[in-house]
Chain A
C-alpha cells in the first residue's frame, strides 16, 4: 500500500481510537464546542454594538478559526510530543516509509478533528443563533477555501512545533501563553479595531488573524466591514499570507525532522 493511503488509514484508526476514549472526547468537545455553545447561549442573542449582526454569528466565525488554530498549533504539537515520548516516532523510523506515513496520519487526524468540531459548531449554531450560516454560494466557497488553506497553514507548523517541544507536559505550559496572547490579539474574540496599532501590526503577521478574517468574510454581511482594517475583507491578502505560512511550514517541518533524526 502506498504511503499516503497508509497514512490516511492510520489517521482514521487513530481518530476512532480517540473517539472511543470517552473521557478524552468529552474533554476535547467541552473545550471547543462546549465553550462555544455556552457563549452563544449567553451572548448570542445580543447584537454586535453598532451593527445589525448578532453576536452569535460573530462568535461562530471566531470559534471556527479557533478550532483550526488550536487543533493545528496546540493539539497537534502536543500529540507529536506525546508520540515522541512514548516511542511512536521511533517505531515509525523502524518501518519502511514510516515517518511519512506517521506525518500523513497525524495530518489526517487534525483534518478529521477540525471537520468534526466544525460541523458540530455549525450544528449547534443553527438552533442557538437562528441560522448564522454563510448567506450565498460565494460565501460558502470562501468558507471552504479559508478553512482548507488555514488548516494547511497550521498543520506543518504544528508538526514543527511538536518536534521542537521538550515533552507533552512542559509543552502544554509553553504553548498555553502564546496561544492565549495570539487568540486575544488576533481579533477572534474582540474586534481587532479595538486593539492598539502595535498589536494590530503584530497580529497580522500570524495566520490566525487572516484565518479569522476570512471566516468573518464568509459569515458576516458587508455591513460589518466598518469594523475591519481598511474596511475590506482583504481576501487576496489572506490567501497570500496563509499560503506563505503553509509553504514555509512544509519546508521547515521536514528539515527539522531530519535534524532531529541525527540525534
Chain B
C-alpha cells in the first residue's frame, strides 16, 4: 500500500440522477506521472476534485497519501500541490509577494526566489498577477502549488490555451519535476500530451475508465483495425499485411487500386471515445 500515492476503488458520484463517475478504479504509484485522458465532460475534473478533497457526496474507497480526502486535515493538505483549471485569483498581488505569502503557510517551504527562478518568473517578480500572460500565469500557479514541497501535484488541464512553445516548456517543467521524484496526476484531453508526459495513462470516458496502461499499451489497446481498400471492395482487419498478401494471391498479381490505411493513434482514440459514449 505504501508505494501508492493514490488508491481509488469503485468511486461513484451521481449528480442529480446522472452518474458523473461510475465505478472508477485507479492507482497512482509514488513518483509516477499519471495522466487522466478524456474528452470534455468525461468527469476528469470531478475525479480530481474528489481526490483533492473539494467534493462530497461520492461513494467508494478513496485514499490519497493514505488518507480519505473527505477527512484530510491541514497536515494532509500541506502534502498536496493543487493547480486548478484556469485560475485568475489574486490578480492585484505582485508575483513575488504572492509566492512568499503562500510559502509562509508551510513548515518546510521552498525559497520564493528560488521557485521563481526555477519557473522562469524572475523577471516578472514585481509584476501584478493580472498582467501575466497565460503561460506565465500557469507557471505562477505551479510555483504556488510547489511552494510547500508537496508529495503529490495535481494539474487539471494545465496547458489549455497555451501556444506550442509554452506547451513545450510546460512539458519540460513537468518532466523535470518528475525527475525529482514528485508524483504528478494530470488531466488533459490532448492525446499527444498524455503520450509525451506519462508513465501511465487512464482513459476516462463518460465517467468510466475505458483503458489504463503505458502509452504503448494504450496505443495497442485503442488501435482500431486497419482499412484495406481496393477496386473490388474493402475490409477492416488487424493484420492488413496478410489481407494484402491474400488479395495478391487472389488476383495473381497486382491488386487494382490497393490502399492500406492504418489509423493514427489519435483517430483510434477518437474512435474509442466515440464508442464508449
CB distance from B125 to the nearest CB of A (A): 15
Shortest A78–chain B CB gap in Å is 15
A10 to chain B, nearest CB (A): 6
Q: Counting CB contacts under 8 A, is A101 at the interface?
A: yes
- Complex Cα–Cα for A83 and B94 (A): 17
**In the complex, what residue of chain A is closest to B105 when comparing beta carbons?**
A95
A94 neighbours in B (Cβ, 8 Å): 52, 77, 80, 82, 84, 145
With a cutoff of 8 Å between Cβ atoms, the chain B residues found around residue A95 in the complex are: 77, 102, 105
- Listed stretches B85-93, B110-118, B187-195, B252-260; interface member: B85-93
Ordered nearest first, which 8 A-B pairs have the shortest CB separation? A96-B74, A87-B89, A94-B82, A96-B78, A262-B56, A17-B92, A88-B89, A96-B77
* Inter-subunit contact A18/B105 (CB<8 Å): no
> Main secondary structure on chain A at its contact with chain B?
helix
Contacting residues of chain A (1-22) with chain B, CB-CB under 8 angstroms: 1, 6, 9-10, 13-14, 17-18, 21
Q: Contact: A13 with B97, CB < 8 Å?
A: yes
Of B82, B93, B105, which contacts A101 at CB under 8 A? B105
Q: Is A256 an interface residue (CB 8 A)?
A: no
Given contacts A13-B101, A94-B84, A97-B74, contact A88 B106 (CB under 8 A): no
**Which chain A residues have a beta carbon within 8 Å of chain B's beta carbons?**
1, 6, 9-10, 13-14, 17-18, 21, 83, 86-88, 90-91, 93-98, 101, 261-263
Q: Give the residues in chain B near A6, CB-CB below 8 Å.
A: 101, 104-105
Q: Does B57 lie at the interface of the complex (its beta carbon under 8 Å from any beta carbon of A)?
A: yes
The answer for the CA separation of A10 and B90 in the assembled complex, in Å, is: 11
Interface contact A87-B88, CB-CB below 8 Å = yes
- Residue in A closest to B75 when the chains form the complex, CB atoms: A96
Interface majority SS on B: helix, strand, loop or mixed?
loop
A140 to B8, CA, bound (A): 62
> Does B88 lie within 8 Å of A86, measured CB to CB?
yes
CA distance A13 to B102 in the complex (A): 12
Given the complex, which residues of A lie within 8 Å of B104, measured CB to CB?
1, 6, 9
Q: Is the pair A93, B54 in contact by a Cβ cutoff of 8 Å?
A: yes
Least CB separation from B80: chain A residue: A94
Could you tell me if A91 and B87 are in contact, using CB atoms closer than 8 angstroms?
Answer: yes
Within 8 A of A (CB), among B46-88: 52, 54-57, 74-75, 77-78, 80, 82, 84, 87-88
A258 to B84, CA, bound (A): 21
A263 proximity list for chain B (CB < 8 A): 55
A234 to B243 Cα, complex, angstroms? 99
A6 to B109, CA, bound (A): 14
B92 touches A97 (CB 8 A): no
Shortest C-beta distance, B51 to chain A (Å), equals: 12
Quick one: closest B residue to A94, CB to CB?
B82
Give the distance to chain B from A4, nearest Cβ to Cβ, in Å: 13
Contacts of A93 in B (CB 8 A): 54
Residue of A nearest to B87 (CB): A87
Q: Are A86 and B89 in contact (CB under 8 A)?
A: yes
Q: For the complex, what is the distance from the CA of A18 to the CA of B128, rounded to whole Å?
A: 12
8 Å CB interface, B171-187 against A: none
Shortest CB–CB separation between residue A251 and chain B, in angstroms?
22
- Residues of chain B within 8 A of A90, CB atoms compared: 54, 84, 87, 89
Question: In the complex where A96-B75, A262-B57 touch, is A17 in contact with B93 (Cβ < 8 A)?
Answer: yes
The minimal Cβ–Cβ distance linking B13 to chain A, given in whole angstroms, is 13
With the chains together, A261 CA to B70 CA distance in Å? Answer: 11
Alpha-carbon distance between A119 and B101 when the two chains are bound, in angstroms: 29
* Extra contacts besides A87-B89, A262-B56 (10): CB < 8 Å: A9-B104, A17-B92, A17-B93, A87-B87, A90-B54, A94-B77, A94-B80, A96-B105, A96-B148, A98-B105
A1-B104, A10-B101 known; A91 vs B90 contact (CB < 8 Å):
yes
Closest to B104 in A: A1
Report chain A residues within 8 Å CB of B57.
262
A109→B88 CA distance, assembly (Å): 21
Return the chain B residue nearest A5 by Cβ: B104
- In Å, the complex CA distance between A87 and B90 comes to 8
Tell which of A1, A94, A101, A261 has the most Cβ of chain B within 10 Å.
A94
In whole angstroms, what is the CA distance A233 to B92 when docked? 44
CA separation between A94 and B93, bound complex, in Å?
Answer: 18
Chain A nearest CB, measured from B232 CB (Å) = 61
Q: Which residues of A contact B93 (CB under 8 A)?
A: 13, 17
Distance between Cα atoms of A6 and B82 in the complex (Å) = 20
Say how far A263's CB is from chain B's closest CB, in angstroms: 8
Chain A contacts for B92, CB-based, 8 A: 14, 17-18, 21
